[in-house]
Amino acid sequence: MTVMATHAPGTFCWADLGTTDPAAAKRFYAGLFGWSFDDRPMGPDQFYTMCDIGGKHVAALYPQQDDERSAGIPPHWQAYIAVDSADKAAARATELGGKLLAPPFDVFEAGRMAVVQDPTGAVIALWEARNHAGAGMVGDPGAIVWNELATGDTAKAAAFYSGLFGWTGEEMKMEKFTYTTFKLGDQMAGGMMPILPEWRGMPPNWGIYFAVENVDASAAKAEQLGGTISSPPADIPGVGRFAVVRDPQGAMFSLFKPAQG
């Protein structure tokens, strides 16, 4: 078990799911990952639900707000990156050409956050931890293992995230495209790939990968639970095996098992 007490600034620290049906989402993710749930009141008849494995928070889910739904924003997973100061990071993001979708605000005693859209259109949340550092476990089955940006302009995105978080990029030639691994010092921070022509219509986004013991078995289980497979299980030579899933409410995420070293 990879237990996390803190998350270094510039690293992914959390993810939450905005969904149209929290009860159904709980059934799906409990069946798929074995999560248990801890409901925290966040307003009249609404809860922010911590998703746990072995008593460790690995993610959260909440009812999608009316303004998002009326704007046509589908159910989705949102990635968070740790920062020393949400206010300073938000200001820097706008200097670098990003758009502030939600200015810095306090989340009770848990922390302070802001939501930013990068210059290519992908949305990221900035998290200044107080009482809630973020995920208490990463990399193990049922927990987040990777975060990946799909964008229409990799050069512009790389410049933005380098300026905001100090990331450097290492490129790897794939069959159809060049994949970029972002690093913070010696630590891998995330990945980036271009939106391919066959994905026409996909908006720029940060995708969430969850670790599993067996990608094929988990993909089959996701279908049994009412999800759909958007990209069937496939190998990434020397990296691992993955699949892309759409949950019953429409939120996208990926399953991943690293290659055996």
pLDDT (tens digit, 9 = 90+) per residue, 98-118? 999 999 999 999 999 999 999
pLDDT (tens digit, 9 = 90+) per residue, 123-143? 999 999 999 999 999 999 999
Q: Which residue has the higher pLDDT, 119 or 44?
A: 119
- Of 8-22, 34-48, 197-211, highest mean pLDDT: 8-22
Does residue 193 lie within any of the structural domains?
no
- For the chain, the farthest-separated pair of C-alpha atoms sits apart, in whole angstroms, at 51
**pLDDT band at residue 73 using 50, 70 and 90 as cut-offs:** confident
Does residue 35 lie within any of the structural domains?
yes
- Taking the C-alpha atoms of residue 150 and residue 136, their distance in angstroms, rounded to an integer, is 26
For the chain, the average pLDDT equals: 94
β-sheet with 36-43: strand ranges across: 36-43, 46-53, 56-63, 12-19, 76-82, 123-129, 111-117, 99-107
Does residue 53 lie within any of the structural domains?
yes
The strand ranges marked E within the chain are 12-19, 36-43, 46-53, 56-63, 76-82, 99-107, 111-117, 123-129, 144-151, 168-173, 178-184, 187-194, 205-211, 228-236, 240-246, 252-258
Does residue 106 lie within any of the structural domains?
yes
Q: What is the pTM of this model?
A: 0.95
For 23, counting Cβ atoms within 10 Å of its Cβ (0-12 exposed, 13-18 middle, 19+ buried), the class is exposed
Does residue 100 lie within any of the structural domains?
yes
Of residues 78, 75, 126, 82, the one with CA closest to residue 102 = 126
The pLDDT value given to residue 246 = 97
Count of domains for the chain: 1
The pLDDT value given to residue 237 = 85
Does residue 104 lie within any of the structural domains?
yes
Stretch 27-53: mean pLDDT: 94
Host domain of residue 63: 12-129
CATH of residue 74's domain is 3.10.180.10
pLDDT (tens digit, 9 = 90+) per residue, 53-70? 999 999 999 999 877 777
